[in-house]
A and B are shown apart, each in its own frame.
Chain A
């Protein structure tokens, strides 16, 4: 299993007046090459679960093993290193820096690796060609369309060639044509061996035939559909 969560609980601001329990006793296993979807309304705990799978923060309780490493045992520095090598994120609002060019946005995760500009460009150009955005290479990201932004976000998630792709509400700001396009790209990534976790309540995603499993998340608890 590439992702193994066992009795995960996440509590924010523990012991304080504003304590919130975001996840209760969640267990989940995802095999390599699978594509699953976490379905739930806003505030149901989807983003928190993605945060734990994405090594952004460790769980309060429970055992989380991502790509063979147990998160609770990793200090913050190594959590970041593990995330850099293992996880590709696609965010709801893409989280692209609008003043940077498309190329610079895609290569951001490579800067701390000490890769030369030539190597970074080479890697990014392969992805830009696959995602048909090579003509936007030198455009500031703030000047391109929503669909293109989505593909920039996908290219940035793939630039480190991570085994796991996490996408949080990836179609929330796309029309149906672009949403379908996005799911086709996900199918291709799955076919290439990537493990994909999508968090969405968009029927175009949740009803997608390529999904291996759909998990409903309500009030921080998982229910298998």
Chain B
């Protein structure tokens, strides 16, 4: 024989389910609206977490220290000779000049990021090689490594040669020697990596100038100390460290997702006003049902258990539905709703296939923000109604 307490709960759950079924169209509408709100919030959380993890992966190729020349608060080309003034700083392993800029391709209407750097061996090259899916870094003139989107939009398949226009409209032909991995798409999708001389040639930059200098240090724990020494040795420059760049990414994505979350929280608040209104304004039929149940010997707690199950079934169904839809949206549909907002607005949008970063804490937070308030909105009005004397059922029905 089953435990009477368990049997009692099963009876209440059975009553709840049949009660939900009786008002199935109304309840289905609530579940759908609720699930949409949860889907939006969960998608957002999954996409922003996924982007942060991706950024973390992609930042492997970021230099440990970056030196930029500043004039009147604006960045301008830095003389390569500045590198010689850093020889005396203890802890610097390597200084590599880099040219970078944007190239608008009128054929594909895409904006590419061009980076020119020479292979010098050691840390930075190794890090860059880590994010290559195939091939090698450029070693000779007119060789290049491309991001996935550049390769795709230029229509390159077997043929690995393409041309770009110099400022004087003459053509510069390049041979593709490698492709970046999809995992680093967030930072490399629109990227064209050339040798320093080729990049200078493409942008028409004079010899002896670069966009910035990349510094590798011997001991990564001394990055900030070395950066401070560089600042002192090269006044008029801006020295950026990798931790600062990481922090900037976190701030950018955090700000974007925070901004959008505020918009979505407004949707959530609107839903709860609707839910509270629905739940607090118990219909006369529902009030009568509670009065009948009470006069037939149901305790106030019994009525609350039924209302709790009702709220739990609706909110948990919406929660599971919303979270599952968010997972499918992120994994199988490439987060089409939110990626443009969170990942940026460049002409080539990174073609990211995020693996959602699921954090238990986020799921719990979402649960607390959605399921708990709905349960409260369902149970509290029923408690207020069930606590009233049940003699209304005696008043001629």
Genuine A/B complex:
yes
Which residue from A95, A115, A116 sits with its C-beta under 8 Å from B393?
A95
With contacts A47-B395, A80-B298 known, is A113 near B22, CB below 8 A? no
Query: Are B397 and A94 within 8 A (Cβ)?
Result: yes
Chain B residue numbers with a CB within 8 Å of A81 are 297, 299
Query: Are B297 and A84 within 8 A (Cβ)?
Result: yes
User: What's the nearest-Cβ distance from chain B to residue A67, in Å?
Assistant: 14
Nearest CB in chain A to that of B15: its residue: A111
Q: Looking at the complex, which of B86-94, B271-279, B287-295 is the stretch in contact with chain A?
A: B287-295
Q: Looking at the complex, which of A97-105, A131-139, A180-188 is the stretch in contact with chain B?
A: A97-105
Q: Looking at the complex, which of B5-13, B123-131, B172-180, B212-220 is the stretch in contact with chain A?
A: B5-13
Chain B residue numbers with a CB within 8 Å of A111 are 8, 11-12, 15, 298, 302
Which residue from A50, A85, A109, A117 sits with its C-beta under 8 Å from B394?
A50
Nearest CB in chain A to that of B397: its residue: A93
User: What's the nearest-Cβ distance from chain A to residue B249, in Å?
Assistant: 56
Query: Are A56 and B18 within 8 A (Cβ)?
Result: no
With contacts A114-B11, A115-B7, A115-B11 known, is A109 near B393, CB below 8 A? no
A77 to B298, CA, bound (A): 10
Query: Are B297 and A114 within 8 A (Cβ)?
Result: no
- Check if A168 is an interface residue, CB within 8 A of chain B: yes
Chain B proximity mask over A161-183: 1 for CB below 8 Å, otherwise 0: 00000001100000000000000
**Interface residue SS majority, chain B:** helix
Query: Are A114 and B397 within 8 A (Cβ)?
Result: no
- Check if A108 is an interface residue, CB within 8 A of chain B: yes
User: What's the nearest-Cβ distance from chain B to residue A201, in Å?
Assistant: 13
User: What's the nearest-Cβ distance from chain A to residue B19, in Å?
Assistant: 8
- Check if B207 is an interface residue, CB within 8 A of chain A: no
User: What's the nearest-Cβ distance from chain B to residue A155, in Å?
Assistant: 13
Chain A residue numbers with a CB within 8 Å of B397 are 91-95
Chain B residue numbers with a CB within 8 Å of A113 are 4, 8
User: What's the nearest-Cβ distance from chain A to residue B159, in Å?
Assistant: 71
Chain B residue numbers with a CB within 8 Å of A97 are 289, 292
Chain B residue numbers with a CB within 8 Å of A116 are 2, 7
Which residue from A80, A99, A104 sits with its C-beta under 8 Å from B299?
A80
User: What's the nearest-Cβ distance from chain A to residue B33, in Å?
Assistant: 23
Tell me the chain B residues, 1-52 only, with Cβ under 8 Å from chain A: 2-8, 11-12, 14-15, 18, 22
With contacts A47-B394, A114-B5, A117-B14 known, is A108 near B389, CB below 8 A? no
User: What's the nearest-Cβ distance from chain A to residue B23, in Å?
Assistant: 8
Interface size on B, residues (CB 8 A): 33
User: What's the nearest-Cβ distance from chain B to residue A116, in Å?
Assistant: 6
Nearest CB in chain A to that of B293: its residue: A108
Interface size on A, residues (CB 8 A): 37
Query: Are B7 and A57 within 8 A (Cβ)?
Result: no
Tell me the chain B residues, 357-397 only, with Cβ under 8 Å from chain A: 389-391, 393-397
- Check if A51 is an interface residue, CB within 8 A of chain B: yes
Query: Are B11 and A104 within 8 A (Cβ)?
Result: no
Chain B residue numbers with a CB within 8 Å of A94 are 397
A114 to B12, CA, bound (A): 9
Query: Are A156 and B296 within 8 A (Cβ)?
Result: yes
Which residue from B293, B295, B302 sits with its C-beta under 8 Å from A56?
B295
A47 to B389, CA, bound (A): 14
User: What's the nearest-Cβ distance from chain B to residue A4, in Å?
Assistant: 21
Chain A residue numbers with a CB within 8 Å of B289 are 97
Query: Are B389 and A91 within 8 A (Cβ)?
Result: no
- Check if A209 is an interface residue, CB within 8 A of chain B: no
A113 to B15, CA, bound (A): 13
Query: Are B296 and A109 within 8 A (Cβ)?
Result: yes
A76 to B18, CA, bound (A): 28
Chain B residue numbers with a CB within 8 Å of A100 are 18, 22
Chain A residue numbers with a CB within 8 Å of B15 are 111
Chain B residue numbers with a CB within 8 Å of A95 are 288, 292, 295, 393, 397
What residues make up the interface of A, taking CB atoms closer than 8 Å to B?
A: 47, 50-51, 54, 56-57, 76-77, 80-81, 83-85, 89, 91-95, 97, 99-100, 104, 108-117, 156, 160, 168-169
Closest 10 CB pairs of A and B: A84-B297, A93-B397, A114-B4, A114-B8, A114-B7, A111-B11, A109-B296, A99-B22, A112-B302, A47-B394
Give me 8 A-to-B residue pairs in the complex whose CB atoms sit less than 8 angstroms apart, sorted by A's number: A56-B295, A56-B391, A56-B394, A80-B294, A91-B394, A93-B396, A99-B22, A114-B11
What residues make up the interface of B, taking CB atoms closer than 8 Å to A?
A: 2-8, 11-12, 14-15, 18, 22, 288-289, 292-300, 302, 389-391, 393-397
